[in-house]
Each structure stands twice: as structure tokens, then as C-alpha cells.
Structure 1
Amino acid sequence: MRREGSHTGAMIFAGVVGLILVAVFSLRGGSAPAAQPTPTATAAAPLPKLADLDSAWVDQTPPAQIAVGAEATITFKFRNAGRAAWTRGTGSEASLAFTGTATKFDPKMAVNWPAASTPALQTEAVVAPNEIGTFTFKVRGVAPGTYRIDVRPTVAAVGALRDQGVYTEVTVR
């Protein structure tokens, strides 16, 4: 069976598509689409100098008394007594460093600490000079006894702030 005009229709269709492509490339200047520029990362803020960082103990939760298997939430508050802000998620983020020893504290008591020697990171997005930063963490009672947790603020990318002898005790019954 012979179809008449089907070859002619295909030729017309191909010609129309060709004309459309010519028109599109002519309007674009005949070039391939321009590559989009890659966004550049913003420059990171310079790290503060250790001399510009300081803290002063303000407050803390009372010593905890818990049963074996129970958890306690502990909070320390320190004033930013330095000249540089503590900014969460940057090189100037303040954290609470555990400065004690395993003879006074059982590391198995740590509940979801950011690191073995870091019980907590600052809660606030930014702690400007003279503002108060909050550091909260949890411990779990693993065996009866009294455990001491010595801490001090630190800015990990720069260094530890002065040790003020701050600690708490957790008594596990």
C-alpha cells in the first residue's frame, strides 16, 4: 500500500524544525549557553588572638545526685570577658573543655558530648564581649561514687582560656 504525501510531510516537518533551530541560535549569537560562574566562598573571618579571649565564671547548676543509669543535665555560664565575640560554627566558637583526669571522672558517663574532652559547645549563636555564654551537657551514672568534672572555656581554633578552677561534682548512688 502506497501512502502519498507522507514523504512530503516529513520533509516539511524537518524543514520547520531546522528553521526554528537556526532562529534560536541566531538570537543567542550562535554560541553554546554561557557557563554560570561558580559562587566563591566568602572569606572566613580572621581568628581572634588568644590575648583577645577571656571569660569569667558566672553561674552553674548545683552538684547533681543521680542513681546508676539515670542522667543529669549540667549547665555552666561564663561571661565573655574578652574583646572578641564567640561565634558558633566558626573558628571563634567557644566550647567547654574537660580539664580533669580519669581518676576523678569516668569517661563512660559522657552522654553525647561533641568530643571526649568537650562536654559542650556554646548555646548562643553569638556571645559578644560582656555577654553570657551558656554551656549545657549531660552525664549518666555508671557506678556509685562521687565524680568531679573540672571545666574551662576554650576556643579550639585558638586555645584554652584561663583556668578559673571551675568544677562540679556528680554523686551516683
Structure 2
Amino acid sequence: MEGKILRCSPNLLKLKCSLQEFQDLSFLNLLESLSLAYPHNDGTHLISLPLNLRKLTLVSFYMSREQAKIIGRLPNLVVLKLQECSFEGNQWNTTEGEFQQLKVLKLSSVHDTEWNASCDPFPRLEQLVLKYCYLEKIPSSFCDIPTLKMIGIHYCRQSVVESAMQIEEEQRDMGNEELQVIISSYT
């Protein structure tokens, strides 16, 4: 039923929905903002996304390696928010050529994940916000992102805080005085 409704609305610019089953959303060519909950996703089906997306929010989403690559290759994606998501094999591997336009990355309640980023990840990233994330650390390659202006760490592991402070120190050594690291933790 939901697929039929969406097919009757190909000119949507913004969509917020919860899927109960796999949907091909690539036909929504004008869609710029998508907030999607897909709690029954087991990783066996890939979500086809419109290439015009500028803002993507995924909630309760299981991210297979291939799905993560598809999202990373969205050519116009500027804002990515992942909430209560988990990754195949508890690893998120971002590689060169992905997330070329991304400026804002917000991860909230991301399950135990090892985050690996190759050289030149997120070349235009300005803001990284981690909230209640169970990551081991922020990849050291974030030291090499000259556009980075803010890292927000809210209620994450101490090792994540330490990696953010290391990134800030290395960014300062390279002349980036704009970078702010904001840390909130339990008292």
C-alpha cells in the first residue's frame, strides 16, 4: 500500500516515513530530504535512494556494507543523521570517494561499531556530532579534514573523547583555529 501512495507522489521534496517492507525510493527524483525508519531491515535488501538527496536521516536501520557504500556515493548528500543504527560486522568502513559533499554528520545511539575511514574521508565535513555512541574512537584521518569546524561529543566513551582531543590538537598544529570540540558527559 505505501509503495502505491509514494508512486502517486513523485514530486515530493521532503518525506518522513517508516517502512514495514523493502521499498525502491529511487523514483522520487526531486526528493531532497528523507527521514526513514526501517526497523525490520535485516540487511538482505538494499534501499534504493534518489540521487538528489541532500539530507538523509536513518532510524533503527541495519546497515550492510553495500548499503553503507550506496549512501556514501549519494552525490548531493550534505547532511547525514544515523540514529540507533547498527553496521554489518560491527564495522563502518568509509573509503575515499564517498561522502564528497557531506558537511554535517550526526551519529546518535550507534551500536558497538569500529569506525574505519581511509585517507581523505569526508573532504567537506564541517560538523561531527556523536551522541550516546558506542564507538571505540573517531578515526585518526579526521585530523586531515581542513574544513572541520566542530566536533560534539555527548555521553560517549572516554576513548572517543580522547580521540576528539587528539584531532583538535593536530588540527591546531596545522593552523585550524576554528575547530571547536564540545564535550558533554555524565557527572
Query: TM-score of the superposition, structure 2-length normalised?
Result: 0.20
Q: Which has the higher contact order (CA 8 A, sep 6+)?
A: 1
Structure having the higher Rg: 1
Normalized per residue, the structure richer in helix is 2
Normalized per residue, the structure richer in strand is 1
